Chains A and B, each alone.
Chain A
Amino acid sequence: MYDLSCASITKKFGMFTAVSDVSLDIPSGSFFSILGPSGCGKTTLMRMIAGFESPTSGDIRIKGQSVVNVAPNKRAVKMVFQHLALFPMMNVGENIAYGLRCRGDAKADIPRKVARVLERVGLPGVENKQISQLSGGQKQRIAIARCMVLEPDVLLLDEPLGALDLKLREHMKIELKQLQHQFETTFLYITHDQSEALVMSDAVAVMNAGRFEQIGSPRELYDAPVSGFVAGFVGDSNCLHGKLVEVRGQEAVVELDGGGTVLGHVFDASRAGDAVEVFLRPEALAIGSGSDSIRLDGTVDSLLFNGASSRILVRTERGQLIEIADPLAASTVSQGDAVALSWRPERARIFARRHA
């Protein structure tokens, strides 16, 4: 049984198709993310699940029951809004009690339930504080508590970490994951930040221009992207433009725009003669020459120190900047050195060129 499933959802606004034939099934108790650039339709999809928009066609089922004709205030789907939307005229306790009172819970039970959910999010005893007295991270937790106290089937989260500063965001990522474990509720998380999606999710759907490009575990998306969009959007990648000249099984030779050939593997239906992109992860590249077709020559442009995510920036002969991972920051090269880069052919992924 899936907690939430969408079957061929399409949403059109006039001539514009915001969401096009999207299907997804989210198993109970999992953390599912929808990852995509802004304007890809992910917020529209979420608003349809919450009931604020109705799909042009397709069906949305929660625990197997179609909810397309159910009003938003009758759905067992609660939502954490982008700017949280805590009610400023109520204190913390009233904010959390609001949903319980709407549901018609017995008056005597409400304070106990509020106290318990506050304890579960790690903020016991803050009932009488005003919303303005809370820090960003605390507001986040109150927004989640306000939904979780109603024990929803699915919790929707619409980029709730966007407004936080970087340090807190890193911290909240881990905390959200822990909260999800603790509540054992299905979370549907929407974000444009791939690191949020990769770190927290059991499964991620990558969305682009109203469609799902790929659904899979974070590792699958990272290691086995099915399209150039996913390869470019998930994780860091160096992208080389070129033309496919020869395909031998999976292995293929690409003639780069501006000269030179490289060897890689084709992962889609591209054929000889097609315009393609070659994606190379920074950690797939090593300094030191390989054989003829798996090398790029260039000079070290700069060394970017960032602890374990340090990078070496190499400018190729054609002027493109390539990032190489240098996790130990232990490389002996220095600025201006001539270097050759090499990789294993299966780690250079070739996809048809995206239409920019």
Chain B
Amino acid sequence: MTGRDAGRLSLILLMTPFALWIGLLILLPQIGIGYVSLREKVGFNQYEYGFANYAAFFGEPIYRNTLLRTAWISILVTILALIIGFPVAYYIAKVARQRSRAALFLMCLIPLWVSDLVRAYGWIVLLRETGVISTTLVSLGVIAQPVEMLYNDITVVMGLVYTVILFMIVPLVSTLQGMDDALLEAGYNLGGSRFTVFRRIVVPYAMPGIVSGCIITFMLAAGSYLTPILLGGKNSSWFTEQIYNQFITRYNWEAGATFGVLLLGFTSFVVWAGLRLTGQSLATTVAKE
């Protein structure tokens, strides 16, 4: 019996930090946010409960459109990260030699050593009207006037892809590394073209990595704040900015909490819909033989 007790004790000890983390930092704040979102201030310390905040959200097109826009751009960022990240991951996992593999992987990690903020300012230094690219082009005579390259959607998408792509590459590399090269050779040997082998062997094999990479990058993109604000400025219309405005600028915690709940709900819905559309499930991210 003592052995079983010891086993139970070690399980409790192992699970405690996890349970505390989930409970105190995820569940409790979410419950709090959910509670606040249902509250409406009618007078000094007087509250009523109901869905008035949600009604206000749906009644105001700018809020709806901002949320939809955020979701669309995040989906676009996810797709671009997948398209750019897959060849990189494939090269690192399958083409590069053993020794250069670690170095390449490290090079992908290096940007993470610098904070988001500094990296965003890096883009600003490059892209602003008086920035490196603009002045270089002017001095080369390619353009006559300095050009402002910040504060548009392309810059926001580019900056987001750059920020999140690593989280696409890492899961892809680890799934692709598990793939035996003999599978590819068998694919060719049995008559498959390069495209067939890619579509019917490489992609299905990498699917757990693709699914988990896409979920992470989408969630990171949709929930990011710094990059869209700094690179997109006032034009970015990012939903997290709306939440920030409600909480901090307007001191309207009720509306801010409502937006927070809606962001979580909507992004979760997008992930669910994405899994359904591609015929995958969350289980594929872990189930592997």
Which residues of chain B (185-206) have a CB below 8 Å from chain A? Answer: 185-193, 196, 200-201, 204-205
Across chains A and B, the number of contacting residue pairs, with CB separation under 8 Å, is 66
Is residue B183 contacting chain A, with contact meaning CB distance below 8 A?
yes
| Chain A contacts for B188, CB-based, 8 A | 51-52, 71-73
Closest to B204 in A: A89
Q: How far is the CA of A99 from the CA of B186 in the complex (A)?
A: 10
Contact of B191 among A82, A87, A150 (CB under 8 A): A150
Contact of A50 among B189, B200, B289 (CB under 8 A): B189
With known contacts A83-B180, A83-B182, A78–B189 Cβ distance under 8 A: yes
| Chain B contacts for A87, CB-based, 8 A | 183, 186-187, 200-201, 204
- Asked if A132 contacts B182 (CB within 8 A), the reply is no
**Supplied contacts A52-B185, A73-B189, A99-B190, 16 more A-B pairs, CB within 8 Å:** A51-B189, A72-B188, A73-B191, A81-B182, A81-B186, A87-B186, A87-B201, A87-B204, A88-B205, A89-B201, A89-B204, A90-B204, A98-B190, A102-B191, A131-B289, A146-B190
3 nearest A-B pairs in the assembled complex, by CB-CB distance = A99-B190, A102-B191, A85-B182
> Nearest Cβ in chain B — how far from A98, in angstroms?
6
Contact of A132 among B189, B192, B204, B289 (CB under 8 A): B289
Chain B binding site: helix, strand, loop or mixed by DSSP? helix
- Asked if B193 contacts A102 (CB within 8 A), the reply is yes
Contact of B200 among A78, A98, A150 (CB under 8 A): A98
Q: How far is the CA of A217 from the CA of B283 in the complex (A)?
A: 54
Is residue A79 contacting chain B, with contact meaning CB distance below 8 A?
yes
| Chain A contacts for B191, CB-based, 8 A | 73-74, 99, 102-103, 150
> Nearest Cβ in chain A — how far from B208, in angstroms?
10
Q: How far is the CA of A355 from the CA of B205 in the complex (A)?
A: 47
Which residues of chain A (225-242) have a CB below 8 Å from chain B? Answer: none
| Chain B contacts for A103, CB-based, 8 A | 191
Is residue A147 contacting chain B, with contact meaning CB distance below 8 A?
yes
Q: How far is the CA of A170 from the CA of B118 in the complex (A)?
A: 66
Contact of B190 among A71, A78, A82, A131 (CB under 8 A): A78
Interface string of B164-187 (1 = CB under 8 A from A): 000000000000000010110111
> Nearest Cβ in chain A — how far from B190, in angstroms?
4
| Chain A contacts for B183, CB-based, 8 A | 85, 87
| Chain A contacts for B193, CB-based, 8 A | 73, 102
Q: How far is the CA of A83 from the CA of B189 in the complex (A)?
A: 15
- Asked if A73 contacts B192 (CB within 8 A), the reply is yes
| Chain B contacts for A146, CB-based, 8 A | 190
> Nearest Cβ in chain B — how far from A338, in angstroms?
55
| Chain A contacts for B207, CB-based, 8 A | 89
B-binding residues in A (CB < 8 A): 50-52, 71-74, 77-79, 81-83, 85-90, 98-99, 102-103, 131-132, 146-147, 150
Q: How far is the CA of A287 from the CA of B268 in the complex (A)?
A: 83
Contact of A147 among B185, B190, B289 (CB under 8 A): B190
> Nearest Cβ in chain B — how far from A107, in angstroms?
15
- Asked if A150 contacts B204 (CB within 8 A), the reply is no
> Nearest Cβ in chain B — how far from A93, in angstroms?
14
Closest to A75 in B: B189
- Would you mind naming 11 contact pairs between A and B with Cβ atoms under 8 Å apart? A51-B188, A73-B188, A81-B185, A83-B180, A85-B180, A87-B200, A89-B201, A89-B205, A132-B289, A150-B190, A150-B191
Contact of A72 among B182, B189, B205 (CB under 8 A): B189
| Chain A contacts for B196, CB-based, 8 A | 102
Among A72, A82, A147: residue with most chain B CB under 10 A: A72
Q: How far is the CA of A225 from the CA of B187 in the complex (A)?
A: 40
> Nearest Cβ in chain B — how far from A77, in angstroms?
8
Closest to B190 in A: A99
Q: How far is the CA of A82 from the CA of B181 in the complex (A)?
A: 12
With known contacts A87-B201, A132-B289, A102–B180 Cβ distance under 8 A: no
Q: How far is the CA of A81 from the CA of B200 in the complex (A)?
A: 19
| Chain B contacts for A50, CB-based, 8 A | 185, 189
Closest to B179 in A: A88
Q: How far is the CA of A131 from the CA of B289 in the complex (A)?
A: 10
| Chain B contacts for A86, CB-based, 8 A | 186
| Chain A contacts for B200, CB-based, 8 A | 87, 98
> Nearest Cβ in chain A — how far from B198, in angstroms?
13
With known contacts A85-B183, A89-B205, A79–B289 Cβ distance under 8 A: no
> Nearest Cβ in chain B — how far from A118, in angstroms?
16
Q: How far is the CA of A72 from the CA of B191 in the complex (A)?
A: 8
| Chain A contacts for B192, CB-based, 8 A | 73, 98, 102
> Nearest Cβ in chain A — how far from B192, in angstroms?
5
> Nearest Cβ in chain B — how far from A104, in angstroms?
9
| Chain A contacts for B190, CB-based, 8 A | 73, 78, 98-99, 102, 146-147, 150
Q: How far is the CA of A79 from the CA of B289 in the complex (A)?
A: 23
Closest to A71 in B: B188
| Chain B contacts for A88, CB-based, 8 A | 205, 289
Q: How far is the CA of A132 from the CA of B288 in the complex (A)?
A: 11
Q: How far is the CA of A78 from the CA of B191 in the complex (A)?
A: 9
Closest to B189 in A: A79
Closest to B183 in A: A85
Q: How far is the CA of A74 from the CA of B191 in the complex (A)?
A: 6
| Chain A contacts for B186, CB-based, 8 A | 79, 81, 85-87
Interface string of B203-217 (1 = CB under 8 A from A): 011010000000000
> Nearest Cβ in chain A — how far from B202, in angstroms?
10
> Nearest Cβ in chain B — how far from A143, in angstroms?
9
> Nearest Cβ in chain B — how far from A138, in angstroms?
16
> Nearest Cβ in chain A — how far from B250, in angstroms?
51
Closest to B181 in A: A85
| Chain A contacts for B180, CB-based, 8 A | 83, 85
